Structure 1
């Protein structure tokens, strides 16, 4: 699972018994050599799907980590691209890899942007938010988007009950719940707390119009259903909004 350049078992243990922010600060220099980084296949499939919906002007990667999602934004956005994360260590790696992008350190549950971006994406971050925290996350993304803006995030289908992946993710989530019950600070990372129906409902409650399209390039399950869908959450267009595309209604550039 890990390349020789990845973290050692001791380093992973140090991360696991830290807070989420501190844990990712520690992991940041070796994060891209772990299986936690979003695979290029997911990024490419997302970029291909968004290419039919764009082009877009300004793009935002929510919980950007080391910046893997910048390749998606760069392929479909004509103007500036921005990444936001609350780990200074992850942002340092992202800034080094993508010096032409804008980087903002902030808590995704309180995004400091207002009606600036045409497209927002997020990859593999929902497990870091408890279900009760998703409304604040989605409300912030909604606020950050311009009228008619789009929020896109891929969500994989749950693994079959008889698969190794099912029992591995279940075991991981149980272990994390035990860890968080007996150890502080908590480390929030769960694989099974963001099913598609619940995410769809929370996005709808935030004001988005929600659809989902299959990412066919990522294959199908045995029953013929897609292995992954791309959620497309659209902020309704305001017919009175005729401001120019470069209107900088963004309260944080860093």
Structure 2
């Protein structure tokens, strides 16, 4: 799963016993050589689904990590692209890889209420980050993203279709979540990363409560499962325009 340039087992263990912020600071120099980086196929499928809705003006990558989302935002946005993350280590890697973009260190649960995070962006995206937020924290995240978007702006993110109940992947992901819950019950600081807390129904309720109108489209470029379901969907949460 890891290339020779990726982290060692010991480095992963140290990261897993750290806080989310400190863990990603430690992992940052080798993050792009791990399977945790958002796959290019998922980024490209997202860009393909968004392309008919654009072009867009300013773009925002929420929880940007090392900047993989620039693969989507760069071609779609005609103006400045900004990434925001609370890990200084991940932002350092993003700046090196994409010096033309703007990188801001901030907690996505408490985005600044002034400056560039108030009605400034036309498109916001996030990739692979929702599992780092407890359900009780997502309302603040979604409220901040809505505030950062201009009226009519779009918040988009992909969701992988959950595996069938009882399948090997179902038990693997459920087992991972269980291990994380046990880890966080007995060890401090907590490391929040859960696969089973970002279900579409709950996200729809939370995004609607935050003032978005939400639809989804299948990510057909990812293919379909044996049961015919698309392997992923793109959530499209629109901030209503001014009346």
Do both share a fold (TM > 0.5)?
A: yes
Q: Distance in 1 between matches of 2:81 and 2:13?
A: 34
Aligned to 1:251: none
Match of 2:219 among 200, 215, 222: 215
RMSD: 0.7
Q: Distance in 2 between matches of 1:232 and 1:221?
A: 22
Q: Distance in 2 between matches of 1:107 and 1:222?
A: 39
Q: Distance in 1 between matches of 2:47 and 2:162?
A: 22
Aligned to 1:151: 155
Q: How many angstroms does 1:163 deviate by?
A: 2.4
| 1:163-202 alignment, distance < 5 Å | 163-202=167-206
Other structure's SS at 1:120 match: strand
Other structure's SS at 1:151 match: strand
The alignment of Structure 1 onto Structure 2 pairs a total of residues equal to: 239
* Unaligned 5+ runs, structure 2: none
Aligned to 1:129: 133
Deviations along 1:59-110, one digit per CA (max 9) or x if unpaired, are 0000000000011000100000000000000000000000000000000001
Q: How many angstroms does 1:225 deviate by?
A: 1.1
Other structure's SS at 2:217 match: strand
Given the two structures, how large is their TM-score scaled by the length of structure 1?
Answer: 0.93
Q: Does residue 95 of structure 1 match 2:99? A: no
Aligned to 2:11: 11
Aligned to 1:61: 61
